[in-house]
Amino acid sequence: MSVKRIGVLTSGGDAPGMNPCVRAVVRTALYHGLECYGIRRGWNGLISGDIVRLDEKSVSHIISRGGTILYTARSQEFMTEEGQRKAVSTCKFLGLDSIIAIGGDGTFRGAQALSKYGINVIGIPGTIDNDISCTNYCIGFDTAANTAIECIDKLRDTMQSHERCSVVEVMGRNAGYLAMYVGLAVGATAVLVPEEPIDFERDVIEKIRQARFNGFTHYMIVVAEGAGSAADIAAKIKDAIDLDPRVTVLGHIQRGGSPTGRDRVNATKMGYLAVELLLQGKTNRIVCTHDGNYTDVDISEGLAMKKGIQDMEVNVLAAMTGL
């Protein structure tokens, strides 16, 4: 397999660390004498030919920037055979023999579809949800977690001053990894995630009561968006024990901000490995991490994997919340 001209794109929800990853792809490609092109606005950009040449100057000073300089979007057209054929035509017209796609499972399904037409593809996991089953870590998770932790720490100050209950909704789509991590980090009274069955009396009300028996007069409930609405949870608390919780939905602030050192380094290593895999003749792969090691897995195999909340996290949470 001969690799001469690589296209790189970011797709789906943006995640802090995408820019360092793009930078690593470009610099590694140039190091090996390859051309590298940025595809703007995800798969939509590949369909429409929204492409720009990338060099050392175009990726300088982006390692500390949040978001993605290539912009991102979700493409309904690319989900169709006609849209995919248009994207393939763009690749052939411009001589792009390889595509590196940074994003989540939807991004990888797009790459998988493109590979069926003979285009070399490598996926890199970039999502704050950390819900890609074939990898222990996704670019953006650490920054998003630290953003949420900082916000909740500040929120706790005012909740404590007024002796109030706070219900905070954390992003994560249908996954609770971010909420569980953040809940453990802030010492939440209770954490609700979609992966674990919820007994409201046991998992929320009784934990608030237990905290009160232990002398606390303020309570922090962290809810993954996939486990329910923070407003609904707050209303149920009020009905059950006549507390009047304050609701905070952190929302898209978790996607922004300068990436942490961990996200910058992981993104750089993953971007480097993606180019190296292409040079090794590999295609249709996802870059991933396992126990601190960087490796790769077939896209079909990776998408078929399942991922759950670790038992240890559930056990630690139970011990930390006193029940």
Q: Is 129 a catalytic residue?
A: yes
Instruction: Name the CA radius of gyration of the chain, rounded.
Output: 22
β-strand pairing of 190-192 with 51-53: unpaired
322 phi and psi, to 5 degrees?
85, 10
Rounded CA-CA distance 90/134 in Å is 30
Q: CA triplet 319, 322, 323: central angle to 5 degrees? A: 85
- Residue 78's Cβ-count burial label (10 Å; 0-12, 13-18, 19+) is buried
> What is the rounded CA–CA span in Å between residue 71 and residue 43?
11
Q: CA 77, CA 108: separation in Å to the nearest integer?
A: 16
Which one of 14, 97, 105, 129 is the catalytic residue? 129
What residues are labeled active site?
129
